[in-house]
Amino acid sequence: MSKNNSGKTDNSGRISRRSFLAGGTGFTALAVLPLRGGAAAATVPHYRFVAAHGRTHLLGAENPDTAVWAYNGAVPGPGIRVRQGDRLRVAVENRLDEETTIHWHGLRVPNAMDGVPHLTQKPIAPGATFTYEFDVPDAGTYWYHPHQRGFEQVARGLYGPLIVEERNPIRVDRDLTWVLDDWRLTSDAQISKDFGNFHDMSHSGRVGNSLTINGRVAEPLAVRRGERVRLRLINAANARIFGLEFAGHRPTIVAYDGQPVDPHEAPNGRIVLGPAMRIDLVIDMTGRPGERFTVEDKFYKGLEYPVLDLVYGPAPLRDRPLQTSITLAPNTMPEPDLATAERHDVRFGGGMMGGMMTGMMGRRRVSMREMMHSGKAWTINGVAATGHVMDPLLTVKRGRTCVLALANDTAWPHPIHLHGHSFRVVSRNGKPTRRREWQDTVLMSPRERAEIAFVADNPGDWMFHCHIFEHQEGGMMGVIRIA
């Protein structure tokens, strides 16, 4: 147990504030509890995670359990819930047989807290503990996962949701989070061990065969007519892209990747989420008592499948949907200044059917054949990454607006993620986007072009990579230096 773990841990990993305080300062501490931003001990939500081997019933209690790697024995790991402006502290103890780290996906943390092995920290050795601590500037839906061998560690169950509550939340009746994952399970319900195989790496990544929501096969969701639900979707899958359709309902998108957007319905009613992406929906339950509707994933043509059913209970909550606003207050990112921006081209290459001829590995130009022999299949600006430490792809002056013109030169979709910042997606295929949405992960279709813009206000070396973990491992990863 580490020194700063003086409080009691409940099974959610959260160290109860009350016992933490009572241990230190007795009754008087209770009086300072409501004060935020005052005495540090009273305001730092404090979690303790143990990463270790465990077992869980992914397929429900009546089926065999599955050996997983988990935080505090649970998949997903403990749900972190803090308020915007809080300082968060998480002590991570590694009881795995290999090194690990945690990356706080989408949160604009200081570089040293970003959880990238060797680049921003020494990986956490087996038996060691590392404490992450940082301020949480923005509200929204985020998640956390290792950045060490993500293609295996995340696929084995190491990930969890991180919700930052708004100071003035919108009014809803229920606030639900669905962490979506697809597992590649064998017939005895165990995780297939073919992690990082070259076929997955050079094609679509590790697409699984068993869907879970919050670590369990989905069960019907009981709803009531008139109810307003905020549904936070998090795609924790290695490679699967989801395209959810809510039959009979008109979900409204209110945030992408945690960042507020003008509330709008998805084109054709399909909610598309690439790996690592999040979407917050507001859904008014407009069905009638006793009705049943199926949510389906229709992303892959010919491979549609039902996700779960919404089942209306007998008693309506109210007759008319709420009329209150569902527009979220903006977060705190500085506005990019396109007129004075630095512009850089970033091209993504490689993969099967991509026409990749050569690439750089380290500082050496090699043939595709040699690259494949070294287990690499993808490039950024012609370079296949061989680890997290590398020469920067580009260097941006701190404080400048940076526009990246992204080009997907491959035959595959890629969710491209930037650490330490959120960016506006300002154009796609040369056309300005309608909502200039803030995101931290932009899903690019095969051959698509996109421009993203952000103020490079967070100094350090930041990963910029495809979030299909097999593509990242296969070389589609770079570093953007802000200095």
Which of 417, 421, 424, 471 touches ligand C2O (CB under 6 A)? Answer: 417
Which of 147, 206, 224, 278 touches ligand C2O (CB under 6 A)? Answer: 147
**Measured between alpha carbons, how far is 110 from 326 in angstroms, rounded to an integer?**
31
Give the CB-nearest residue to ligand C2O: 105
Helix (H) or strand (E) holding 417: strand 414-418
Two structure tokens written together for 282? 């507001």
Q: Given the complex with ligand C2O, which of 331 and 472 has the nearer CB atom?
A: 472
* Cβ 103 to ligand C2O shortest distance, Å: 5
Contact 94, 48 (CB under 8 A): no
Q: Using the rule CB under 6 A, is 17 a contact of ligand C2O?
A: no
* CA proximity to 462, closest of 419, 425, 428, 424: 419
Strand partners, 14: 47
**Measured between alpha carbons, how far is 21 from 434 in angstroms, rounded to an integer?**
49
* Cβ 478 to ligand C2O shortest distance, Å: 11
Positions in 446-475 near Cu ion (CB under 5 A): 466, 468, 471
Q: Using the rule CB under 6 A, is 276 a contact of ligand C2O?
A: yes
Q: Which does 466 bind (CB under 5 to 8 A by kind): ligand C2O, Cu ion, none?
A: Cu ion
Contact 160, 104 (CB under 8 A): no
Q: Which does 203 bind (CB under 5 to 8 A by kind): ligand C2O, Cu ion, none?
A: none
Q: Using the rule CB under 6 A, is 240 a contact of ligand C2O?
A: no
Q: Which does 417 bind (CB under 5 to 8 A by kind): ligand C2O, Cu ion, none?
A: ligand C2O
* Cβ 233 to Cu ion shortest distance, Å: 20
Q: Given the complex with ligand C2O, which of 147 and 184 has the nearer CB atom?
A: 147
Q: Which does 414 bind (CB under 5 to 8 A by kind): ligand C2O, Cu ion, none?
A: Cu ion
* Cβ 205 to Cu ion shortest distance, Å: 7
**Measured between alpha carbons, how far is 91 from 47 in angstroms, rounded to an integer?**
6
* Cβ 299 to Cu ion shortest distance, Å: 15
Q: Which does 453 bind (CB under 5 to 8 A by kind): Cu ion, ligand C2O, none?
A: none
Q: Which does 298 bind (CB under 5 to 8 A by kind): ligand C2O, Cu ion, none?
A: none
Which of 14, 17, 103, 232 touches ligand C2O (CB under 6 A)? Answer: 103
Q: How big is the site for Cu ion, counted in residues (CB under 5 A)?
A: 4
Close Cβ partners of 458 (under 8 Å, ≥ 6 residues apart): 108, 110, 111, 420, 421, 482
Long-range contacts of 34-41 (CB under 8 A, 24+ apart): 36/83, 36/85, 36/86, 37/85, 40/87
Contact 58, 210 (CB under 8 A): yes
Q: What angle do CA 441, 442, 445 make, to 5 degrees?
A: 140
Q: What is the DSSP letter of 339?
A: G
Contact 224, 166 (CB under 8 A): no
Long-range contacts of 294-297 (CB under 8 A, 24+ apart): 294/247, 295/244, 295/245, 295/246, 295/247, 296/244, 296/245, 296/247, 297/211, 297/242, 297/243, 297/244, 297/245
Which of 48, 105, 224, 232 touches ligand C2O (CB under 6 A)? Answer: 105
Of the candidate spans 8-16, 37-45, 397-405, 459-467, the one that interacts with ligand C2O by CB under 6 A turns out to be 459-467
Q: Using the rule CB under 6 A, is 421 a contact of ligand C2O?
A: no
**Measured between alpha carbons, how far is 207 from 405 in angstroms, rounded to an integer?**
28
Q: Given the complex with ligand C2O, which of 42 and 277 has the nearer CB atom?
A: 277
Q: Which does 14 bind (CB under 5 to 8 A by kind): ligand C2O, Cu ion, none?
A: none
Binding site for ligand C2O (CB under 6 A): 103, 105, 145, 147, 276, 417, 419, 463, 465, 467
Binding site for Cu ion (CB under 5 A): 414, 466, 468, 471
